[in-house]
Amino acid sequence: MMDAKAVAPTKLHFDSRGIADNALNSRSLNFLLGSIALITLPHAGHIPPPIFGFFAILLIWRLAGVWYRHWLPNRWLLFLLTILGIVLLIAQHRGVFGRDAGTALFVVALGLKLMEIHSKRDVFLIVYLAFIVAASQFLYEQSILMAGYILLVCAVLLATLITQNATHVQTQAALKTSATIMLQALPMAMVIFVLFPRLEAPRWMWLADDNKALSGLSDVLEPGSISDLSLSDELVFRVRFDGNVPPPVLRYWRGPVYANTDGVHWTKDSNHNQPTQPVDFSGDAFHYTLLMEPQKQNWVFGMDMPESFDTSLHRNDTFQLLSNKRPADRAEYKIVSRPAYNTGPISPTDYRRNLQLPAAATDKQQALVNKLRGFDGRPEQFIQNLLNYFREEKFYYTLSPPLMPDNPIDTFLFETRSGFCSHYATAFVYLLRIAKIPARVVGGYQGGEFNKVGGFLEVRQADAHAWAEVWLENKGWVRFDPTAAIAPERVERGVNVDLQVASGAVNFGPLINESAALNWLKRSRQLWQSIDYNWQRWVINYNGANQMQFLQALGIDGIAALAKWLVGSLIIVTLPLAWWLLKQPKKPADKTLLIYRRFCNKLAKTGAAIRPGEGAKDFAERAKKQCPEMAAQIDQITALFIRLRYQSDARDGDLQRLKTLVGGLVVKKVI
């Protein structure tokens, strides 16, 4: 009796040429299911856990069905599983449009289709679905590592198709063939990528993805909001300067301006979209290209103060740069900034807005402002006295200040005297407003680590910073950073992101005496960041505008010229490939298949011709009914053919024996 774990022989079908059409075996199915697992694994963090768990159960269930075929669901159970999948999709997503909903739909469809593999057609459909699921990964991440991974799993999927079309091909040979095909297609793919017109999605197709978690500065500044960011090494943007890199003390990357306060929270005014008045610039100009990472807001952090910028940017009346590009995509901008500027006079509305206070000053606040000559001295003198006060009165700079939920200004100034940049900036501005000096808080980033390998700056969330702006007569808005009075090394040396994130404490600048191992690790990381930066710039960010600029540099200025370049380039890359393919020696025909075809042709003379899609065993049963006198010979020949063609227990003499049996088969022609 056969073991319960044994797999029943899979039905074999042949077309009119005698070539296997629907051959499915456990090796091919295992290879296919392994490919599917690799394809869907990266989506574990993208789609809801119940949906991914549902898919994982279906995949494991189908894998068990390779050995225990009776475990596979019947059509009624499969119908119930389909209903369950639909219910999960509806429960986890409020709509049917968008990246997350679409990806979840394809993953569920792929899992359900795995449960009904009956023929090669089903395998092909599954593979095509898997290619879609693989491509959807680029909607979440476009790093070079992910591109390499997707290329690998696509090679595995292609190898799956190869094994299904030629079941005698071993896994290693199929993978080699798959890699060869992909390498042959690479030159053509590169030509099409560079020259084929790129279409940008219209704004109405920018589907919102509510589940996308992106950290960063927000519209509200409150105690602790920036100190939380200072423990994140998440990349915000990278900057490549055309000339000299400005020193750290000039690297203030301007973001939102917070003018309104309730005493605890500082908020960004929503009416700051109108253009600014002209700014009087002077001094050195810094030209740079800024590559923004995906973010929640359409903010672009130009170095203070942007003078000129791309047409896709505009500057509001708080001098913040805003982009009309989709913020969830990486985008590149060319900007020119000058650190020396004069913003000119202030409007009556801005004057009132930047003196706003939630309540009258407390006695302690009044006394401090009076002590520092805020009521009777020049604004510049009061500002200097206030900075000296922070510097001399034992204030401390820390990432983990005590909680100040009720009255953070008084608690910080007169009790704890320890805080992060947001505490110093907000207290500084608050005291200036008490003295009737217009002031506001500016959020953004300060510093950035220079990548010596790639020659660009990397600005991370740990570089998040807050400073103050004060309006002074004949000078306009002037930047003051009270943090520099407490911890000047924060501005002069910048943040040591690695140590700060690892230790959870303030760390500034590079280590003076780095070990050889640390220096090697740092250089290795910078090398990788340089590779990733160029990948993002020249591959991921190769959009329609960049393509147009590149084509114009080649002298391609019209559709006709572009068509000539495209056709000519494709001919250049395909001719050598066609020559190489045509000169390849033809592989010898499968002797087993040739002998079996001879057997089928002999039986056809008796009137028992093999039908398209008919299996070897089915054909043998029908032929024995047509020629009962040859039943034993037909059984012997069929068994030998199946063993040689599809099983691994063939003996050395089986091929010769098959040839002898077919050669000795004598048939009578039907008249």
Span 584-622, pLDDT tens digits: 776 666 788 888 889 998 888 888 888 877 888 888 898
Helices within 462-542 (DSSP H only): 482-486, 488-492, 497-503, 516-535
Considering the candidates 465, 498, 600, 627, report the single residue annotated as catalytic.
Answer: 465
Write the pLDDT tens digit of every residue in 50-68: 999 999 999 999 988 888 8
Q: Is 600 a catalytic residue?
A: no
Enumerate residues 6+ apart whose C-beta is below 8 A from 504: 231, 399, 400
Most confident of the following: 160-169, 221-230, 372-381, 578-587: 372-381
pLDDT of residue 671: 59
pLDDT for 23: 43
pLDDT of residue 623 exceeding 60: yes
What are the CA-CA distances from residue 555 to residues 71, 189, 564, 567 (Å)?
64, 22, 12, 16
pLDDT, position 275: 62
Which pLDDT value is given to residue 522?
Answer: 73
Token duo for residue 415:
């009790």
pLDDT band at 575 (very low <50, low <70, confident <90, very high): confident
- Cβ(450)–Cβ(248) under 8 Å? no
User: Is residue 513 predicted with pLDDT exceeding 90?
Assistant: no
**Ordered DSSP codes for 583-606:** TSPPPPP-HHHHHHHHHHHHHHTT
The per-residue pLDDT for 10 is: 36
pLDDT digit string, tens, across residues 113-172: 998 887 778 888 898 899 999 988 888 888 888 888 998 888 888 888 887 776 556 777
> Does the pTM exceed 0.95?
no
> Which residues face 260 on adjacent strands?
267
Average pLDDT over residues 288-315: 92
Catalytic residue among 93, 304, 310, 421: 421
Strand partners, 182: none
Of the listed ranges 325-329, 397-401, 449-453, 632-636, the least confidently predicted one is 397-401
User: What is the per-residue pLDDT for 7?
Assistant: 33
555 versus 260: the higher-pLDDT residue is 260
- Is pLDDT above 60 for 26? yes
Of the candidates 269, 350, 410, 481, the residue annotated as catalytic is 481
Specify whether 314 is catalytic. Answer: no
- Quick one: pLDDT at residue 587? 66
481 is catalytic: yes
